[in-house]
């Protein structure tokens, strides 16, 4: 499916897509989450499998993966609308639906060889395999060109990988991963099968959010030369494509969380009474709700603009950066206000607000920290003057 343009109202097919995803979340995923203990950090695999069967049955499977490989084939605009609708539940990080809608492979694999696509992309979509992406290291994540210390040395028909990756999502149960390493010609991307000798998931890394990343070590890990994705030295170029899509997803998910938190708290304010009057009559509550509605609507348009331009094959590095920074900040403010409106109930694990609060705080660091995003935006706006030591010399 594709969408070449839209106005201030969604066309019928996008309304249907949004409503179908929202209905599935409300009728299937939210009850499933409520059935597990409040201290759980995620849904168990058997519960996710049952949800996946139901999602497949109604066509909600790997929605953004190309149709030719068995996915839903959604355009970027369609995808962000579905992602927003699919994020209105507790365990929507790191994926809307908590895995119920499948696990599309790392996007850089679509640039792989026919053999790589047949070996990894097609079965990932068909079987719901997890894959991981390993860029960040202990030396940093926002500047991979300098921070990456992991190496991949060519040795005949193989590459030998050595180094350690940090903060890697899904590596503890993935079938394979895309690993970025320094080669003779620069940073390159490789696909590495789980269980390859020399690759070890060392530990889980306890963090603020419920979903914990991992540390992955490579000790003389030998892989076939055919596992190189694209050309040597082109890894960061491939990673840029992944990053744009990842930022769109983060932004759309943030909008969905903000919208749902506003709904939850607004319903509470209508029913809750203090000192003989509904909470909704209090000006402080009204202002918090109004500010949040402004934030949510503005963030949504940032996301839609970036996605729309992506569908037009425009360079969206700036738009995706603005959308991610703006939407995550707007959602963080909104969830914080809604917790304040609901008081102690807002802090309770009986509701998803406290989990979203932690997820959004984490989102200000992942896929580009808020500061790095603002530096990029400012440089795009100011041009060479932003980097010059003496502006008069520019």
State the catalytic residues: 367
Nearest to 87 by CA among 337, 362, 331: 331
Q: What is the DSSP string of 325-360?
A: HHHHHHHHHHHHHHHHHHTHHHHSTTSSHHHHHHHH
DSSP-assigned letter for residue 140: B
The pair of structure tokens assigned to 231 is 């050309």
Q: Go through the chain and tell me how many residues it has.
A: 394
CA angle 108, 245, 316 (to 5 degrees): 110
Q: Closest by alpha carbon to 170, among 218, 231, 111, 216? A: 216
For residue 128, what are the CA distances in angstroms to 102, 105, 109, 116? 5, 9, 15, 17
The secondary structure of the chain in percent helix, strand, coil, rounded to multiples of 5, reads 55, 15, 30
Distance CA 363, CA 369 (A): 8
The angle formed by the CA atoms of residues 124, 62 and 366, to the nearest 5 degrees, is 90
Hunting for tokens 């970036």 — which residue is that? 306
Six-digit token pair at 100? 């119920």
Tokens of 343: 């008081």
10's CB contacts (< 8 A; 6+ apart) are: 18, 81
What sign does the dihedral 268-273-274-280 (CA atoms) show?
Answer: positive
Q: What is the residue-wise DSSP string for 98-112? A: GGTT--PPPGGGGGS
């Amino acid at each position: 499916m594709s969408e070449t343009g839209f106005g201030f109202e969604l066309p019928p097919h996008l309304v249907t897509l949004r409503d179908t995803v929202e209905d599935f979340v409300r009728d299937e995923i939210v009850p499933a989450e409520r059935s597990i203990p409040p201290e759980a950090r995620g849904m168990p695999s058997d519960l996710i499998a049952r949800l996946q069967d139901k999602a497949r049955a109604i066509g909600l499977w790997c929605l953004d993966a190309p149709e030719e490989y068995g996915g839903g084939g959604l355009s970027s605009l369609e995808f962000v609308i579905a992602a927003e609708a699919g994020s209105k539940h507790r365990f929507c990080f790191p994926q809307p639906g908590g895995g119920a809608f499948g696990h599309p492979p790392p996007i850089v694999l679509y640039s792989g060889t026919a053999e790589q696509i047949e070996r990894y992309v097609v079965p990932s979509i068909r079987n719901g395999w997890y894959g991981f992406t390993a860029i960040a290291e202990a030396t940093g994540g926002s500047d991979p060109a300098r921070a990456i210390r992991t190496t991949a040395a060519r040795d005949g028909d193989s590459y030998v990988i050595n180094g350690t990756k940090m903060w890697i999502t899904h590596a503890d149960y993935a079938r394979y991963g895309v690993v970025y390493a320094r080669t003779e010609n620069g940073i390159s991307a490789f696909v590495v099968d789980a269980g390859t000798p020399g690759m070890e998931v060392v530990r889980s890394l306890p963090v603020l959010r419920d979903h914990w990343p991992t540390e992955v070590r490579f000790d003389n890990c030998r892989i076939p030369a055919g596992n190189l994705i694209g050309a040597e030295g082109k890894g960061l170029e491939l990673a840029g494509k992944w990053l744009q899509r990842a930022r769109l997803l983060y932004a759309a998910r943030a909008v969905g969380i903000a919208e749902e938190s506003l709904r939850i708290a607004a319903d509470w304010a209508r029913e809750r009474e203090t000192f003989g009057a509904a909470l909704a009559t209090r000006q402080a509550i009204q202002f918090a709700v109004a500010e949040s509605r402004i934030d949510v609507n503005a963030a949504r348009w940032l996301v839609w603009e970036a996605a729309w331009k992506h569908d037009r094959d425009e360079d969206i590095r700036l738009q995706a950066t603005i959308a991610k920074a703006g939407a995550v900040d707007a959602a963080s403010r909104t969830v914080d206000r809604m917790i304040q409106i609901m008081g102690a109930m807002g802090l309770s694990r009986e509701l998803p607000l406290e989990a979203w609060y932690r997820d959004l705080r984490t989102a200000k660091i992942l896929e580009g920290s808020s500061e790095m995003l603002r530096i990029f935006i400012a440089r795009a706006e100011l041009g060479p003057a932003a980097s010059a030591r003496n502006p008069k010399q520019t």
